[in-house]
Amino acid sequence: MTKYKEYFDRMVEENKNVFERFKMLHANYGMDENKFQEEFNKEGEKILAIAHDWENKLCSQSEKAGFSSYSGNLAEKFQAELKNAFPLIDHVGIVVKKFSLKKISLR
């Protein structure tokens, strides 16, 4: 198993509850983005923070070993693995403004 895949699997396993909750929310968000956007943003921020920490762990190991030019590709592969598991992860942080019209009274 490749190193980035191993780190991704360990990340998901060590944060199983958070990822399971986000997986369900991700499915609901895919069906109704407007209804779940706010909750998706809150939970998605947690997921992105966890993923960022694990990506740093992964890349720091390769940089310590002297493969600093390789760590950029490693980070991209790790992010691709995250997007493969959660295709809508890029939607985290989207701000949706509700459009409304003011009523005009004609008297």
What tens digit of pLDDT does each residue of 6-30 get? 999 999 999 999 999 999 999 999 9
Region 92-97 average pLDDT? 81
For residue 83, what are its two tokens? 């997007």
Q: pLDDT per residue over 62-83, tens digit each?
A: 766 666 667 778 889 999 999 9
Question: CA-based diameter of the chain, in Å?
Answer: 78
SS3 label, residue 92 = coil
Amino acid code (one letter) for 73: N
Task: Please tell me the distance from the alpha carbon of residue 78 to that of residue 10, in angstroms, as a whole number.
Answer: 12
Q: Which of 37-41, 51-55, 56-60 has the lowest mean pLDDT?
A: 56-60
The answer to whether 34 and 94 are in contact (CB under 8 A) is no
> Which pLDDT score, from 0 to 100, does residue 68 have?
64
Q: Which of 72-76, 84-88, 90-94, 103-107 has the lowest mean pLDDT?
A: 103-107
The answer to whether 90 and 83 are in contact (CB under 8 A) is yes
Band of residue 1 on the pLDDT scale cut at 50, 70, 90: confident
Q: What percent of the chain has pLDDT over 70?
A: 91
**Extents of the domains making up the chain:** 3-91
- Closest C-alpha among 87, 89, 85 to residue 4: 85
